[in-house]
Amino acid sequence: MLWQINFKSGKPVYLQVVDQVKAAAASGAMQAGEALPSIRPLAEELRVNRNTIAKAYTELESQGVIETIPGKGCFIKSNNSPLKKEVRRKLLIEEIDQVIVQAHHLQVPAGEFLSLVRDRLAEIEERQRANDKQL
Amino acid sequence: MNLPIRNPQVAKELRPLFWPWLGTVLAGGLLVLRPAIGESVGLEGLLMGVVLYGFFGGLALLAAVSFGEEFQERTLSLLLSQPVSRQQLWNKKMALLSGAVLAALAVEAMLIGVLSRSSVAGPVLDSLGQTFDKEELLLAGVFIVATVCTAGFWTLASGSIIGGLVFTVTCESACGLTAALIYSGCSSPVEPPRGSLQLVAAMAMAVYSIVLLWLGRRMFLTLQVKPARFTSMTASSPQGWERIPGLQILVCRPAAMLPNYVRKEIRLLKPIWQLASVFLVCWVGAVLVQWLWPTQRIAYVFDLLTFIYAPITCLLAGALTLGEEKTLGLAETQLTLPFSIAWQWVLKLFTCGSVAALLGLGLPLALVLVTGGWLNLDGSSLAQDKDNALLALACVSGVTFLLAFWASAHVGNVVRAAIVTIIGTIVGGVCIAQGINWGSHGNELLSPVLVAVMQRLRLSPNQMWLTGSVAERYLGWVMAALVALVGLYQGYREFRRARPAVSKLIRDSFVLALATVFVSLLCTDFVRSLQHLVDSAPFGELRTALEAIARVDLNHAGSHRQIVPHEALRGRVSPQTESWLRDATVSYEVQKDPRFFSDPRFSAFARRYGLSPYSFIARIQFKDGSIFDFPGGPLPWPGEPLKPAR
Amino acid sequence: MSNATPAIELVDLHYAYGRSDAVNGFNLTVQPGCCYGLFGRNGAGKTTTMKCLLNLLRPQSGTVRLFGLNPAKQEVEVKRRLAYVPDAVAFYPWMSVRETLDYLASFRAHWNGQIEAELLQRFDLDPNQRASALSKGQRTQVALVAAICPEPDLLLLDEPTSGLDPIVRREFIETVIGAYQEGGPGARTILVSTHLISEFEGLIDQFTIVDHGRAVLSLDADEARSRYQKIHARFSGAAPEITLAGALRSRRHGRELEVIANGGAGAIMDQLRRLSPESLTSESLTLEEVFVATLK
């Protein structure tokens, strides 16, 4: 997959990596059980501090997105995360709150915001279906 | 080249020491040539000068290189950031330097020892024995020790190899000299013996070396690595130097190209100006000492100062500008300017040569003249021009300058140019000596040429000798100028390329050495052929012919001269000799030894050994009236067969 | 981690060349495992600071501690734990690459030959080539190999990539990340002084901007990027002239207004929103832009 680090986004680099992995897992670009690149080659490719990548992977593992098998590497975990549903809900609520604040900043009214959300859900579902069909 | 040494640190220290070490050993080895040049005193003085200069100067260079190499290669940061204590580095450098110096001395000792078993030995050892006495050897030894001990301090203080070399030699010499002068001044009015003077000098130098050794070590331990702009000798200048009155002329102006180039050259020669001022100070000091203690004869000090100072100045003048430009990285840029490269070369040669002549020779001579008018300078060979001292100095300085100029075009920096110059002077000396040797002992190659000239132009031998002696005087100069031109052309070619290559250096030095050998051979041969003109073919033919004519009729022995008509000579001598003698009158006179006829015992003895009472002297009278007599040899007794001509 | 001895600690460092101050009261603390950037203009005092760390220069005042040790007093001990890549790499010209590496290895107790072989192959360096025949990039590569192979705890890089071509520059950074950091994650510290900031952007954890021998700004890289925002607003009429609290710099050009904010980006955005602009966007500054904004 294509990794991109944007230094202008204001988000810490490790968080960008975490988000990209999570987005890939959610959109189906990376399947469950697929291997992530190991820390050193990824750090070299992105020309980013090795510790940053290590921190990102640790974060992903603590969030339950990936699992590390010693001797083999890091793999995407299947969507049935061991985290309890409430925790997952809580994480999602955090993200939703952030988006609402953004919308407010960008002066998008509530009604338009909701219709946008519905549109985006539809589109991502469509993309996942397309990916599944390819395989 | 790779030395087969395991420890990379030791190998790295020794590698830059190799060429200076070799040069030093070669210079010392030249001592062997001393008996070969025994005849002319001037040349021997020159040789000893080269030996001493090369040997001791080479040792000083060795010492300066061992510390200064890091500056040269700018590797000081890398070296000092390694996990090794400075004390260890210092110890290592001093140990290896001492080892190298001891090795050089050992090689010299071995050389002399080997010589003592060969036939060349006698004269060399004798000359060594008679020249150097115990105190002088002690002084030389202390000088070497002082060089090794103090070079570290001076190289670190001046930040370059050449600076370290110059300061080391001058300061230890000054130290010894000052001590000797003070001692002789204090023990006035009686002048102390030379031996005790040398002892005092040695003691002073010993103390000086201990002090500076300690100082040098401290300096190394606390050395700070300032940015690279301070490592070039000429690059740094104090802020606002242009405001010093008189130096305004050295600041480049926008419009004038040629003067700017000259200005730049003069400015690059800054160390020479500094050296000249040091020399001036020393001279003034010596004058003061002489003035305060008029009874002491220290005229030799002035000579010493000059003979050390002049060659160094000329060497630096030749090597400095191009070497510094290469170190600073400017040499190639200069070649891209829209200014003819040939002109640049000529201008550089002219400027540096003028400065060298002015400061290296002009300054000492002016000082000698001024001082001579004021003080009594008896004993100074410069002031009285003993043994052509001035000429020798001028020659040595000139040769050093040209060689240094040639060398700086062939190698990448000033230090290497200095080493090549020293080795080059030695090699040049060897070549000249060898050329002279071959010329003196070989066949007279130029004889046929001279004979042909004589015959074609119908000259008498006297005229030949007259012209020849004039030509002799100038032949040497002309030949030397030719060799110099060859060298300058080679240098120009390398200057154009601005990227020195060792192969070119070797090839060019080979050519130059061959040229030198050839030229000295030619000159010696010319002199010898001229000297032995009377033994050449025409005279031999004439002798044989006249002998054949004269033996026929011995009756008029002792009486008047017999003129030989040309027809009589035809067929007996070669056509060229005949044409030579066409306008001349040949005659001979037979002489009789009276002892043969008066003393019967003598005549019996003579008969037994085939000695003849008759001999003849031939005479050629040339068109211009000059007369040339030469002995014809013995005439056989009538009836006896002709003995072969001697 | 803050209890551990800092890898580098400089307190009130002063150094002057003659009469001009190169370093003037400089403070710096680098924790082990961190990759620290020293950014500054040419002549700001970065190289001088590095040389003071290595005891190549003796500071007139101030304390210098590496791993708690004084480099002037315990020189060898300190140097055993670090390696230095100087800004003007010079080797002895008669040595080959192999010889140079052997020579530098002879000073070290520990030398990882495997990494050396790997790196020589990766950089495509001929071990028999003379040092005088190497290009500038190759010389830097050899210096880097020589610095990584003894596996030191601290790597000091002084303007390592200036003057090198883009490919060599990338390889350099990749090697530092890969061969060096991989060897001791969390224990390997890097101090890199440079003015080519954009290249080292990803590598740097923390940085200090040096100007005229003083530390002007010391921050975490991520924090800097989140704190410094460039806010761009476009208005329907002429851009208003207002003083914005917390703005580092603002520029007006016709209908557009550009503000660089240090920390108070949110407040500024609110302030601007009240003036109903046509569009209002914000983006983070890269470290290079932070550098320019701070020093101009």
pTM for this entry: 0.74
DSSP H helices in chain C: 46-53, 75-80, 97-105, 113-123, 136-148, 166-175, 197-200, 221-227, 265-273, 287-295
Chains in touch with A (3+ beta-carbon pairs under 8 Å) read C
Nearest CA distance, C201 vs chain A (angstrom)? 8
Q: Does C268 touch chain B (CB under 8 A)?
A: no
Identify which of B318, B512, B316 has the alpha carbon closest to the alpha carbon of residue B405.
B318
What is the SS3 assignment for A51?
Answer: helix
Q: Which residues of C touch A107 (CB under 8 A)?
A: 273
Nearest CA distance, C190 vs chain B (angstrom)? 16
Q: pLDDT grade, residue B646 (50/70/90)?
A: very low
Of C47, C80, C90, the CB nearest to B74: C90
Of A5, A40, A52, the CB nearest to C178: A40
Which has more confidence, B191 or B130? B191
Nearest CA distance, C222 vs chain A (angstrom)? 5
C120 and C231 co-located in one domain: no
Q: Does B80 touch chain C (CB under 8 A)?
A: yes
C43 and C78 co-located in one domain: yes
CA distance B262 to B495: 17
Of C181, C229, C284, the CB nearest to A7: C284
C136 and C14 co-located in one domain: yes
CATH number at C260 reads 3.30.70
Residue B245 lies in a domain: no
Chains B and A touch (3+ CB pairs under 8 A): no
C138 and C256 co-located in one domain: no
What is the SS3 assignment for B621?
Answer: strand
Residue B293 lies in a domain: no
Q: pLDDT tens digits, residue range B217-243?
A: 999 988 888 765 544 555 556 666 667
Q: Which residues of C touch A104 (CB under 8 A)?
A: none
Residue B243 lies in a domain: no
Q: Which residues of A touch C191 (CB under 8 A)?
A: none
Q: Which residues of A touch C205 (CB under 8 A)?
A: 49, 51-52
CA distance A66 to B593: 134
pLDDT confidence of residue C27:
93
Give burial (CB, 10 Å; 0-12/13-18/19+) of B608.
exposed
Token digits of residue B335: 């070649």
Q: Which residues of C touch A18 (CB under 8 A)?
A: none
Which has more confidence, A99 or B554? A99
Helix (H) or strand (E) holding B391: helix B389-410
Residue B619 lies in a domain: yes
Determine whether the interchain pair B224/C57 forms a contact, defined as Cβ–Cβ distance below 8 Å: yes
Least confident of A68-77, B134-143, B379-388, C283-292: B379-388
CB within 8 Å of B372: residues ≥ 6 apart: B383
Q: Which of B165, B199, B226 is the last residue of a domain?
A: B226
Q: pLDDT tens digits, residue range C50-106?
A: 989 988 888 999 999 999 999 888 888 899 999 999 888 888 888 889 989 998 888
Residue B520 lies in a domain: no
Determine whether the interchain pair B1/C94 forms a contact, defined as Cβ–Cβ distance below 8 Å: yes
Chains in touch with C (3+ beta-carbon pairs under 8 Å) read A, B
C268 and C177 co-located in one domain: no
Identify which of C222, C219, C220, C289 has the alpha carbon closest to the alpha carbon of residue C261.
C289
ipTM computed for the complex? 0.81
Evaluate whether the domain defined by A13-76 bears CATH number 1.10.10.10: yes
Mutation target among C66, C81, C100, C103 for the B interface, most CBs of B within 10 A: C103
User: Is there a contact between B635 and B543 (Cβ–Cβ < 8 Å)?
Assistant: no
C97 and C197 co-located in one domain: yes
C92 and C196 co-located in one domain: yes
Q: How many CB atoms lie within 10 A of CB B320?
A: 26
Nearest CA distance, B326 vs chain C (angstrom)? 15
User: Is there a contact between B161 and B152 (Cβ–Cβ < 8 Å)?
Assistant: no
C178 and C108 co-located in one domain: yes
By residue range, what is the domain housing residue C79? 8-212
Token digits of residue C216: 């002007």
C151 and C260 co-located in one domain: no
Count how many pairs of residues, chain B against chain C, have C-beta atoms within 8 Å: 73
Q: Give percent above pLDDT 90 in chain B.
A: 15
Which has more confidence, B124 or C209? C209
Q: pLDDT tens digits, residue range B290-311?
A: 777 776 667 777 777 788 888 8
CB within 8 Å of A62: residues ≥ 6 apart: none
Q: Which residues of B touch C131 (CB under 8 A)?
A: none
pLDDT confidence of residue B192:
67
C54 and C139 co-located in one domain: yes
Q: Which of C148, C182, C212 is the last residue of a domain?
A: C212
Residue with tokens 């000799």: B577
Determine whether the interchain pair B75/C92 forms a contact, defined as Cβ–Cβ distance below 8 Å: yes
Residue B466 lies in a domain: no
C46 and C175 co-located in one domain: yes
Determine whether the interchain pair A43/C173 forms a contact, defined as Cβ–Cβ distance below 8 Å: no
Provide the number of structural domains found in chain C.
2
Q: Which of C212, C236, C271 is the last residue of a domain?
A: C212
Using CA coordinates, name the residue in chain A closest to C180.
Answer: A50
Show which of residues 57-116 on chain C sit within 8 Å of chain B, judged by CB atoms: 57-58, 75-77, 79-80, 84, 86, 88-95, 99, 102-104, 106-108
Least confident of B78-92, B432-446, C125-139: B432-446
C156 and C272 co-located in one domain: no
- Give ∠ CA C94-C100-C105 in degrees, rounded to 5: 150
Chains A and C touch (3+ CB pairs under 8 A): yes
Chains C and B touch (3+ CB pairs under 8 A): yes
Q: Which residues of A touch C202 (CB under 8 A)?
A: 5, 7, 13, 46-49, 52
Q: Which residues of B touch C60 (CB under 8 A)?
A: none
CA dihedral angle for residue B426, residue B428, residue B430, residue B436, rounded to 10 degrees: -150
Reading across the β-sheet that carries C214-220, which strands appear in turn? C82-85, C154-158, C189-194, C35-40, C206-211, C214-220
Mutation target among B65, B77, B221 for the C interface, most CBs of C within 10 A: B77
Q: pLDDT tens digits, residue range C189-207?
A: 999 999 889 889 989 999 9
Mean pLDDT of B408-420: 86
Give the burial string for B202-217 (b: 16+ CB within 10 Å, else e). Answer: bebbbebbeebbeebb
Count how many pairs of residues, chain A against chain C, have C-beta atoms within 8 Å: 71
CA distance C273 to A106: 9
Using CA coordinates, name the residue in chain C closest to B16.
Answer: C94
Token digits of residue C45: 């005092």
Of A7, A48, A52, the CB nearest to C225: A7
Identify which of B87, B617, B155, B162 has the alpha carbon closest to the alpha carbon of residue B415.
B162
Using CA coordinates, name the residue in chain A closest to C276.
Answer: A107
Phi-psi domain of C192 (left: phi exceeds 0; alpha: psi -120 through 50; beta: other): beta
Q: Does B81 touch chain C (CB under 8 A)?
A: yes
Strands C256-262 and C247-253, bridge-based pairing: antiparallel
Give the orientation angle of helix B86-115 with respect to helix B41-73, to 10 degrees: 160
Q: Domain residues of chain A, as ranges?
A: 13-76, 85-134
The dihedrals phi and psi of B544, each to the nearest 5 degrees, come to: -60, -45
Q: How many CA atoms lie within 13 Å of B75's alpha carbon, on the beta-carbon side?
A: 23
Q: Is the preceding omega at residue B638 within 30 degrees of 0, hence cis?
A: no
Token digits of residue A111: 């009604």
Of C51, C77, C90, the CB nearest to B73: C90
Of A40, A47, A105, the CB nearest to C182: A40
Determine whether the interchain pair C94/B224 forms a contact, defined as Cβ–Cβ distance below 8 Å: no
Strands C206-211 and C228-234, bridge-based pairing: unpaired
CB within 8 Å of B562: residues ≥ 6 apart: B550, B556, B587, B588, B589, B590
Q: Which of C178, C212, C246 is the last residue of a domain?
A: C212
Q: pLDDT tens digits, residue range B72-127?
A: 777 888 888 889 888 999 999 999 999 999 999 888 888 777 766 665 555 555 55
CA distance B62 to B556: 79
Q: Which of B226, B255, B283 is the last residue of a domain?
A: B226
CATH number at C207 reads 3.40.50.300
Mean pLDDT of B385-398: 79
CA distance B540 to C206: 103
Using CA coordinates, name the residue in chain A closest to C290.
Answer: A8
Mean pLDDT of C267-277: 84
Residue B495 CA: distances (Å) to CA of A54, B331, B492 = 58, 9, 5
Nearest CA distance, C286 vs chain A (angstrom)? 6
- Across B555-613, where does the E strand assignment appear? 562-564, 585-592
Helix (H) or strand (E) holding B174: helix B161-186
Determine whether the interchain pair B83/C80 forms a contact, defined as Cβ–Cβ distance below 8 Å: yes
Residue B523 has pLDDT above 50, yes or no: yes
Token digits of residue A55: 């921190």
By residue range, what is the domain housing residue B34? 1-226
User: Is there a contact between B219 and B195 (Cβ–Cβ < 8 Å)?
Assistant: no
Q: Which of B226, B249, B282 is the last residue of a domain?
A: B226
Mean pLDDT of the residues in chain B: 80
DSSP H helices in B222-249: none
